[in-house]
């Protein structure tokens, strides 16, 4: 057994407080949040049942993904019409430039804080309008 594998294998939970398994060696009946969501489930308030761990060779750190029990998972709550409306308004705000108030088909870059024409105006347009 390699040192990295041995560090990540603690099924009793003595070292990390929760049972720990190497990456891709999780026991059956457990899933991460993303895996639960793909099956239309959510953790539903249950505590973390276990974790999978992988050592990162480049940074020397560890990557951890928490596991939840499938038998205790609950179905995802359906979106209500008010939630759909709030999501549509949020996306509209992300697509509207705060400077020129034009709505685009794409989200405004957060690095610029405004649309590209407002962030980098064309100098020839300024000369023509004056």
105-130 per-position pLDDT tens digit: 999 999 999 999 999 988 776 555 55
Interval 79-96 mean pLDDT: 96
Work out the angle at residue 71's Cα, subtended by the Cα atoms of residues 26 and 47, and round it to the nearest 5 degrees.
70
Interval 15-27 mean pLDDT: 89
Render pLDDT for 29-69 as a digit per residue (tens, 0 to 9).
Answer: 999 999 999 999 999 999 999 999 988 777 778 889 999 99
**Nearest-angstrom CA–CA distance, 94 and 109:** 9
**Nearest-angstrom CA–CA distance, 29 and 63:** 21
Instruction: Say which residues have a Cβ less than 8 Å from residue 128's Cβ, sequence separation at least 6.
Output: none
Task: For the chain, give every domain's residue range.
Answer: 3-75, 95-129
pLDDT of residue 41: 96
Instruction: Say which residues have a Cβ less than 8 Å from residue 99's Cβ, sequence separation at least 6.
Output: 114, 115, 118
Percentage of the chain with pLDDT > 90?
Answer: 65
């Amino acid at each position: 057994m390699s040192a990295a594998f041995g560090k990540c294998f603690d099924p009793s939970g003595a070292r990390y407080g929760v049972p720990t398994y190497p990456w891709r060696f999780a026991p059956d009946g457990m899933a991460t949040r993303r895996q639960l969501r793909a099956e239309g489930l959510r953790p539903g308030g249950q505590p973390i049942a276990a974790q999978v761990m992988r050592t990162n060779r480049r940074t020397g750190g560890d990557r951890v993904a928490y596991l939840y029990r499938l038998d205790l998972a609950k179905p995802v709550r359906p979106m209500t019409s008010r939630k759909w409306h709030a999501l549509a308004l949020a996306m509209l705000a992300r697509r509207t430039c705060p400077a020129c108030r034009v709505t685009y088909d794409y989200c405004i870059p957060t690095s610029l804080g405004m649309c590209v024409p407002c962030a980098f105006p064309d100098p020839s347009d300024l000369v023509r309008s004056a």
